Copies of this chain bind each other. A is one copy, B any other.
Amino acid sequence: MLSRYVLDKLENLSYKITPQRKAILQVLEENQGDHLSAEQIFLSVKKRMPNVGIATVYRTLDALANLGVLHKTSFDEGLFRYEFCEDDRHHHHHLVCVTCGNITEIEEDLLYQLERKVEDQGFKVIDHSLVIYGICQGCQ
């Protein structure tokens, strides 16, 4: 039950715990490892809560992303995808298959040297986004 920690975080920041927000978190929780779009989340939430509005989904996802609970990532498809953040800093990277569109993950970070070099140039690093495009094993 990951969302308990998230609900506490929301409560501490005086966000209201609404049925809509709980449902959105539950969908994300039930699809851990996936990279869901707002539309996909909206459709899943709708099954249990037919009257939910898509604006609420967008608002909630945005709030959760700003709180650092979710990662909002673009794979240049013209939309954003969302997933839980495992920890605050140095999240994993993504492999996107240009043939089938599948998105997988690499756990290794391995950007230390690069970031050290950047910091040496006087740039204060906050976050990074690395997407590797290629062809997955199944598509070769």
Q: Which residues of A contact B (CB under 8 A)?
A: 74, 76, 93, 95, 97-98, 104, 106, 108, 110-111, 113-115, 117-118, 121-137, 140
Contact = CB atoms under 8 A, between A and B. Distances in A.
A115 B108 CA distance: 11
A137 B114 contact: no
B129 A134 contact: no
Contacts of A125: 132-134
Contacts of A74: 74, 76
A126 B133 contact: yes
Contacts of A118: 95, 106, 132, 134
Contact of A136 (B123, B128, B130): B123
